[in-house]
Amino acid sequence: MCGINGIAFSSRSGRRVERDVLERMRDCLTHRGPDDSGLYTDGRVGLGHRRLSIVDVGGGHQPMTNEDDTLHIVYNGEIYNHADFRPGLEARGHRYRTHCDTETILHLYEEHGAACVERLRGMFAFAIWDERARELFIARDRLGVK
């Protein structure tokens, strides 16, 4: 089970994410993801990830980005129906770089925005930083908050 963390300040606060604070938060989760780690910061937003490699061991580094690097995701869980979406998303021009369900979430978000969650079947928690909209989207499976 991976570990995810993040920090987001309102644009009015003028505060910026301190990379070392985000890194220390992330590393408190090493027991949940000893195989890999990553960070992303963009001024007032920071995302951290600790990975337990199960699917696409070599290609699932996070935070993961979409094709034009405008969306950034940290994710934990399993999307049972992710393979069902891939052919249609590829037909619409999305380029996959991995075999991870994480990437499918990003492409579905590009297509459907926050409504992408309604299509997902599985156990999950994720946060997406959308640079274009300058907003953070957070979702959990049906047992949590959508």
> Which DSSP helix (H) or strand (E) runs through 87?
helix 82-91
- What is the C-alpha separation between 139 and 124, in angstroms, rounded? 8
Q: What is the DSSP letter of 57?
A: T
- Give catalytic residues, as residue numbers: 2
Half-sphere exposure of 1 (CA within 13 A, CB side): 6
Phi, psi of 128 (to 5 degrees): -120, 125
Phi, psi of 24 (to 5 degrees): -65, -40
